[in-house]
A and B are shown apart, each in its own frame.
Chain A
């Protein structure tokens, strides 16, 4: 079975993140880049699928040149090879454009399942896997907390607000996994060394037959009109219990429509 894992490089979630004031795009230079946290679970799931069913794991990343660091890390965890789509013209692309680029890149290889994270920690639209499945016209198995593959049938437990649904589709399929679906491995020393010689294919938009006029900020379907920094955390509200503490808390929760 050939497995592709979609890996996004994002600004470190633990650092203070910013947007560029001139074009409202994410400032990717200001903060150390890391693998999107949830994508580590996607990589692990890809490796587990390979261990159970054989085949190869290919990492697919759309992102700036620096994303090679994240690709190497994914390879050092045990993936076999990678495709890196990088092009100046991609700057500021939105989820729809990114999904189209990924769809084209998937067209360059043989694959059975594409495993993504359920959401990226920077823009958090949680929509790319759905867009991708739609663009490809293949099964869409998102928000999985468990993945089972039997021949060409893929079954997942899809997380819902109240529990889970069992959803089935046949390959080729796009799967997105939620965090905690597994326990991502750390790269071993040997893995780090081996990653250095694993093949990474770098593709530009022209290699995928995509016109630069379809990509990038100027051609995005979504637009960031303005942004503001989050207001500083206000001091908490103290409730003094004078025999009616419980009632006061209930009133507060009700005012926030939480109960």
Chain B
């Protein structure tokens, strides 16, 4: 039994950390204020090879393991969650379905640009009236004359409206009891990208509602087998949950790092606040949570990399996502408290951490949905 990442993972972690601290940290507060996703940074992340980690070499990727991707997301997430989710969504939700279910032609068309960070892909599953209950999808796609015609709407779709978004993978009803997945290239007539949402956090991340108004794409844009949409998105989400868990670990670690430092520097009543048990012990608890969250996350990633059964990976992913995201939210609460009034000020990163944390318990399956998945894994008939 070993609890260590490989030397290669650690070398890679160092590089991503240097990148995050050198290229992201100095500017992130400003991007956050401007609600702006810096596309040159996306491109630089492409040069680092982050988007292509799990992609085979024939499409320009590095053919690395899923654990490497988690390391990258954790390290970006330690500095900024928006940049972390941009990578997570681009790979987990954008590249992954095309890579897993796409034809050679579809992969050759989209992957090379996605891998270099010249393009971003999005995954449109959630609808205004279908989130946790994604099977209630209302968007329709009908096949006639060699074309799919889509009508309906999607909500909260990450990376769907950037200047470099190349394709959106959309789930749609293709029959009464049938959901399929269809590739809709950006700028297809009839695809309307709504203005960006006003969000509590993740200000740098791009999120839009979409609507489809007789939006037509070729029949060949069907992704994988017709009618398999439900199965496909469940599998996509299992991988995504491990990656979100890594993002949460990064946030909790970031909180621990900055508040530990602050607790040593900030003096009250003649001593550093870190010498007060109330402060020190709350950081001890964060340290325990970070450690536990990291172990759950990398165990889930290891199960996936080891080719374990999908049931085993699904359970581990839900457990990791549930624990890590709740730990991260708790960690931001502690960090903000340790920073006192400064913690409420945008001059300090903990205020942004606090705003960014909450959505971790919502996206890619809410905490309640994770508990539902876990309970079902226990054989309990919960609905």
Q: Which residues of A contact B (CB under 8 A)?
A: 72, 76, 185-193, 196
- Chain B's interface: helix, strand, loop or mixed, by majority? helix
- Chain A's interface: helix, strand, loop or mixed, by majority? helix
Please report the C-alpha to C-alpha distance between residue A191 and residue B47 in the assembled complex, in whole angstroms.
10
* B47→A189 contact, CB < 8 A: no
For A72, the chain B residues whose CB sits under 8 A away are 11
Please report the C-alpha to C-alpha distance between residue A140 and residue B53 in the assembled complex, in whole angstroms.
43
The answer, among A188, A193, A196, for a CB contact under 8 Å with B48, is A188
* A193→B62 contact, CB < 8 A: yes
* B19→A186 contact, CB < 8 A: yes
For A187, the chain B residues whose CB sits under 8 A away are 15
Interface of chain B residues 135 through 175 with chain A (CB within 8 A):
none
Asked if B8 is at the interface of the complex by the 8 Å CB criterion, the answer is yes
- Nearest CB of chain A from residue B55's CB, rounded to whole Å: 11
* B53→A188 contact, CB < 8 A: no
* A189→B18 contact, CB < 8 A: no
Q: Which of A187, A189, A193 has the most CB of B within 10 A?
A: A189
* A190→B47 contact, CB < 8 A: no
For A196, the chain B residues whose CB sits under 8 A away are 8
* B47→A188 contact, CB < 8 A: yes
- Nearest CB of chain A from residue B118's CB, rounded to whole Å: 15
* B50→A185 contact, CB < 8 A: no
Please report the C-alpha to C-alpha distance between residue A76 and residue B47 in the assembled complex, in whole angstroms.
13
The answer, among B19, B44, B49, for a CB contact under 8 Å with A190, is B49
Q: What are 28 A-to-B residue pairs whose CB atoms are below 8 Å?
A: A72-B11, A76-B15, A186-B15, A186-B18, A186-B19, A186-B44, A186-B47, A186-B48, A187-B15, A188-B47, A188-B49, A189-B12, A189-B48, A189-B49, A189-B50, A189-B52, A189-B53, A189-B62, A189-B68, A190-B62, A191-B49, A192-B8, A192-B11, A192-B12, A193-B8, A193-B62, A193-B64, A196-B8
Looking across the interface, which residue of chain A has its beta carbon closest to that of B47? A188
- Nearest CB of chain B from residue A165's CB, rounded to whole Å: 31
- Nearest CB of chain A from residue B139's CB, rounded to whole Å: 36
The 6 closest A-B pairs by CB, nearest first: A189-B49, A188-B49, A189-B62, A190-B62, A186-B19, A187-B15
Please report the C-alpha to C-alpha distance between residue A186 and residue B47 in the assembled complex, in whole angstroms.
8
Please report the C-alpha to C-alpha distance between residue A187 and residue B8 in the assembled complex, in whole angstroms.
12
For B53, the chain A residues whose CB sits under 8 A away are 189
* B8→A185 contact, CB < 8 A: no
Contacts A192-B8, A193-B64 known; 17 new A-B pairs at CB < 8 A: A72-B11, A76-B11, A76-B15, A186-B44, A186-B47, A186-B48, A188-B48, A188-B49, A188-B62, A189-B50, A189-B52, A189-B53, A189-B64, A190-B49, A190-B62, A192-B11, A192-B15
- Nearest CB of chain B from residue A195's CB, rounded to whole Å: 9
- Nearest CB of chain B from residue A104's CB, rounded to whole Å: 31
- Nearest CB of chain B from residue A74's CB, rounded to whole Å: 13
- Nearest CB of chain B from residue A15's CB, rounded to whole Å: 15
Please report the C-alpha to C-alpha distance between residue A190 and residue B50 in the assembled complex, in whole angstroms.
10
Please report the C-alpha to C-alpha distance between residue A76 and residue B18 in the assembled complex, in whole angstroms.
14
Interface of chain B residues 22 through 50 with chain A (CB within 8 A):
44, 47-50
Please report the C-alpha to C-alpha distance between residue A139 and residue B53 in the assembled complex, in whole angstroms.
44
Please report the C-alpha to C-alpha distance between residue A190 and residue B64 in the assembled complex, in whole angstroms.
9
Please report the C-alpha to C-alpha distance between residue A186 and residue B14 in the assembled complex, in whole angstroms.
11
Please report the C-alpha to C-alpha distance between residue A191 and residue B15 in the assembled complex, in whole angstroms.
11
Please report the C-alpha to C-alpha distance between residue A190 and residue B68 in the assembled complex, in whole angstroms.
12
Q: Which of A185, A190, A193 has the most CB of B within 10 A?
A: A190
Please report the C-alpha to C-alpha distance between residue A187 and residue B48 in the assembled complex, in whole angstroms.
7
For B19, the chain A residues whose CB sits under 8 A away are 186
Please report the C-alpha to C-alpha distance between residue A187 and residue B15 in the assembled complex, in whole angstroms.
7
For B49, the chain A residues whose CB sits under 8 A away are 188-191
Given A192-B15, A193-B62, verify A185-B68 contact (CB < 8 Å).
Answer: no
For A76, the chain B residues whose CB sits under 8 A away are 11, 15
- Nearest CB of chain B from residue A12's CB, rounded to whole Å: 12
Please report the C-alpha to C-alpha distance between residue A190 and residue B47 in the assembled complex, in whole angstroms.
10
Looking across the interface, which residue of chain B has its beta carbon closest to that of A69? B11
- Nearest CB of chain A from residue B70's CB, rounded to whole Å: 13
Please report the C-alpha to C-alpha distance between residue A189 and residue B45 in the assembled complex, in whole angstroms.
11
Interface of chain B residues 79 through 112 with chain A (CB within 8 A):
none
Looking across the interface, which residue of chain B has its beta carbon closest to that of A185? B47
Please report the C-alpha to C-alpha distance between residue A185 and residue B52 in the assembled complex, in whole angstroms.
18
Looking across the interface, which residue of chain A has its beta carbon closest to that of B64? A189
Please report the C-alpha to C-alpha distance between residue A189 and residue B68 in the assembled complex, in whole angstroms.
9
For B44, the chain A residues whose CB sits under 8 A away are 186
- Nearest CB of chain A from residue B257's CB, rounded to whole Å: 15
Looking across the interface, which residue of chain B has its beta carbon closest to that of A195? B11
For B50, the chain A residues whose CB sits under 8 A away are 189
For A192, the chain B residues whose CB sits under 8 A away are 8, 11-12, 15
- Nearest CB of chain B from residue A184's CB, rounded to whole Å: 10
Looking across the interface, which residue of chain B has its beta carbon closest to that of A77? B15
- Nearest CB of chain A from residue B326's CB, rounded to whole Å: 31
Please report the C-alpha to C-alpha distance between residue A121 and residue B8 in the assembled complex, in whole angstroms.
28
